[in-house]
Amino acid sequence: MCGIVGFLDKRERVDFPLGRTLLEMMRPMACRGPDSAGVALFGDGGEEKLRLRLPVEISRTALSDALHEEGLMLMQSHPGGVYDARLVAEMEATDLEERLRRRWPDCEILCLGGRLDSFKQVGSPDELETAYSIAARTGSHGIGHTRMSTESRVDLSHSQPFWAHGLPDVATVHNGHITNYHKLRRRFEQDGYRFCTENDSEIIGVYLRDRLAAGRSLEGAMRSSLDDFDGSFCYLVATKDRLGFVKDRYGFKPLMLAETEDFVALSTEEIALRRALGRDFSAHEPPPGAMKLWSIHADNEENTQ
Amino acid sequence: MSFTIDCRDKTTREINRTMREAIAAGHQRIEVLEPDARHNLGVALLCPVDVVFSGSVGYYCGGMMDGAHLEVRGSAGWGAAESMLDGMLMIDGNAGSGAAASIRGGTVVIRGDAAARAGVSMKGGTLLIGGGCGYMTGFMMQKGRIVVCGDAGDALADSMYEGVVFVGGQIAGLGNDTVVEEPNADDRAWLDELLSTHRVQGPTSFRKVVSGRKLWNFDRKELEVWKAAL
């Protein structure tokens, strides 16, 4: 099961009520994924920031000092050992992640980027709203997830969206099982990649990062994932200015797509589209093996199929 | 005078219960407003009644029904009319995977496209698709007729026992043990009548796909045929 949703406003309005739209899409998907809920929103470009999960007891002063040493400024604390910080010094995301891990081996960067803001936790979309006031947040595009865990534990770390570790402003959500996950993970770990969870969905971001590092385009990486991933999957990718989907060659997992002059909306079930966006558009199920990528810039038509 | 059910603020169970109560009270026509692509609407309706859904429906709409006449003014999710015994389901838009799977009788009309595995294991009845269909449509069908006005996906009618599939457009790939024939005069007359009855604009000609019947009995001499199929 699991429910995934995605939305992109084609009118290049960064003040679009994205949070409310994604939340309304996720609510009817809550029954597909009662374990946890999360969103990745892409808002107005700003300074690079990150959200960090730190499963150690530490005073705010000590944390602030420690982060300062790593070139970060502590901004805000959330329940469950989650902290927001701003990047003060310029550095590569991979280097920063490595440095933080050297300091706190169990630390995990939940998201990082100039536009990406991701919130996730155990519980329903309504509980996510209570904790983080998602509905009030604006942005041009984003993705959301409701999780029913099957293989790995239910906690914040194993919730989605997953940040594509090392790639600023890239997040994924996934419905299905990547059945060659262990094989792929072993290969990636031999190549030096680090995994934060035992959730098979985490492999998608790692895979895309690896392909991009090898010089492939995002579209090319998504296309080759159709061959390199086994199992059932529909996944969405969001970057600072793009939103895309990939659907496995057997069409095992459902995904509905609606595209109008104003927006692109994707969801596991049509009910999410109707509840959030009304009836004045048609929706269809892309064929098995389909993939597509949209840009938020109308004049920069990179849309591919 | 039709009976109206507004789905807003009702659970799926309440909607279906209200539908049954209206039928029991003698209503012949029911309008279901704002269905919002919910699942399991109009399942197991076992009497002749007209039901119109004003928008898209979710999974298994009209499943296991016998004799009802359902119209969907939108699209349908997975498994539309699955295991229907008799009756009719008309879908204005597209249908998700597994439409008309395992039906034993009646008619399913999809004016748009059908996704993968439409009409799998059909044991009777008719499935008319105005657009194209996804892969493995008609997989292991045993009886009945599938008409695809547009293009058909890969592995069409794979391992079919019996029945017939008519295709107007391109066939991406035929399934195992299928044979393509030219429709005869009776077939053409039946197709013309079906298309005009349901006001579906068909192509100028169809191809007819039937079972090659090589998989009916195991034959060691034809081991390669079996290896390919399995």
Q: Which of A274, A284, A285 sits opposite B36 (nearest CB)?
A: A274
Cβ distance B78 to A254 less than 8 Å, yes or no, reads yes
Cβ distance A283 to B56 less than 8 Å, yes or no, reads yes
Nearest CA to B102 out of B78, B138, B130, B128 is that of B138
CA A19 to CA B60: how far, in whole Å? 31
A contact set with B (CB within 8 A):
250-251, 254, 269-271, 273-275, 279, 282-285, 287-288
Contact list in A for residue B75 (CB cut-off 8 A) is 270, 282-284
Shortest CA gap B25–chain A (Å): 30
Say whether pTM exceeds 0.80: yes
pLDDT of the residue at A176: 96
Shortest CA gap A173–chain B (Å): 22
**Domains located in chain A, CATH noted:** 3-46+122-295 (3.60.20.10), 47-113 (3.30.70)
Cβ distance B55 to A274 less than 8 Å, yes or no, reads yes
Q: Which of A269, A282, A288 sits opposite B58 (nearest CB)?
A: A269
Cβ distance A288 to B112 less than 8 Å, yes or no, reads no
How does pLDDT run across A68-118, given as a tens digit for each residue? 999 999 999 998 899 999 999 888 999 999 999 999 999 999 999 999 999
Nearest CA to A196 out of A270, A106, A117, A126 is that of A106
Q: Which of A251, A279, A287 sits opposite B55 (nearest CB)?
A: A279
Cβ distance B116 to A271 less than 8 Å, yes or no, reads no
pLDDT of the residue at B227: 80
Instruction: Report ipTM (2 d.p.).
Output: 0.80
pLDDT of the residue at A305: 46
CA B79 to CA B63: how far, in whole Å? 8
pLDDT of the residue at A303: 47
CA A285 to CA A292: how far, in whole Å? 13
Rounding to the nearest 10 degrees, give the CA dihedral for residues A248, A125, A158, A172: 40
Residue B33 · residue B5 · CB < 8 Å: yes
Q: Say how many CB pairs under 8 Å bridge A and B.
A: 53
pLDDT of the residue at A300: 53
B contact set with A (CB within 8 A):
36-39, 55-56, 58-59, 74-75, 77-78, 93-94, 96-97, 112-113, 115-116, 134-135, 153
Shortest CA gap A248–chain B (Å): 12
Collect the ranges in chain B with pLDDT lower than 50: none
For chain A, 305 residues long, give each residue's pLDDT as a single digit of tens: 899 999 999 987 878 999 999 999 999 999 999 999 999 999 987 889 999 999 888 899 999 999 999 999 999 999 889 999 999 988 899 999 999 999 999 999 999 999 999 999 999 999 999 999 999 999 999 999 999 998 899 999 999 999 999 999 999 999 999 999 999 999 999 999 999 999 999 999 999 999 999 999 999 999 999 999 999 999 999 999 999 999 999 989 999 999 999 999 999 999 999 999 998 998 888 889 999 999 998 665 444 44
DSSP structure string for B60-103: TTTTT-EEEEEEESS-B-TTTTTT--EEEEEESS-B-TTTTTT-
Shortest CA gap B116–chain A (Å): 7
pLDDT of the residue at B148: 98
Cβ distance B96 to A254 less than 8 Å, yes or no, reads yes
Residue B95 · residue A256 · CB < 8 Å: no
Q: Is the dihedral of CA B107, B111, B112, B113 positive or negative?
A: positive
Contact list in A for residue B59 (CB cut-off 8 A) is 269
Q: Return the percent helix, strand and coil in chain A, to nearest 5.
A: 30, 30, 40
Determine which of A271, A275, A281 to mutate to test the interface with B (most B C-beta atoms within 10 Å): A271
